[in-house]
Amino acid sequence: VDCTDEAALEEVCRKISIELAYEDGEQQVILNGENVTPYIRTEEVSQMTSRLSARPAVRAALLNLQRRLAEEQDVLMDGRDIGTQVLPDAQLKIYLTASPAARAKRRYLEYLEKGDNTHSLEEIERTIAERDERDMNREIAPLKQADDAVLVDTSDMGIEEVTSHIISLYEEKKAAAE
């Protein structure tokens, strides 16, 4: 589908079915019956996601899908506009960020672990910075921190430290609500 053809995008969006499943404790993304989890973190998909998510037809379909998932069950949802657009009334909003250099290093190491050495660290950092710039300046649902979101900069944190910090924020919020 030509990603600039709004009518074609709208038609495709009407025909897709996206479900979340869990296999061995890990979330899987099922698109029209096919597990697409291995593809969603590739550089190509990451770049296309940024471009497509700014299209009105795609934005509307995603908004409906994400809100439906949140209505059906408790969710921990991440995305560039979750706290500002998708779930503005979420109980806890965290604006999770890291420098482009830190994110590029993480993505580069992910690629190397998968045996993919076709991307340079510099290339990855450049595309991350370009995507951030594009997403912060898009007309529809720009990337920005919600006023009531807690800022967590993970640039100098490991995954265990980030996880622990987020859990403590959740526990604080839960205790305050009781």
Looking at residue 148, which CATH number applies to its domain? 3.40.50.300
Write out pLDDT tens, residues 133-174.
998 998 888 899 999 999 999 999 999 999 999 999 999 999
Q: Where in the sequence is the domain holding 51, given as residue range(s)?
A: 6-177
Q: Is residue 1 part of a domain?
A: no
Q: Is residue 26 included in any domain, yes or no?
A: yes
Which of 97, 8, 22 shows the shortest CA–CA distance to 55? 8
Between CA 38 and CA 49, with CA 43 as vertex, the angle to 5 degrees is: 90
Assess whether pLDDT exceeds 80 at residue 54.
Answer: no
Output Rg (C-alpha) for the chain, integer angstroms: 17
Q: What is the pLDDT of residue 74?
A: 83
CA 97 to chain centre: 12
Q: What angle do CA 48, 50, 143 make, to 5 degrees?
A: 175
Into how many domains does the chain fold? 1
pLDDT classification of 52: cutoffs 50, 70, 90:
confident
Q: Is residue 150 part of a domain?
A: yes
* Cα(105)–Cα(77) distance, integer angstroms: 23
The token duo for 79 is: 């995305």
Which pLDDT value is given to residue 1? 83
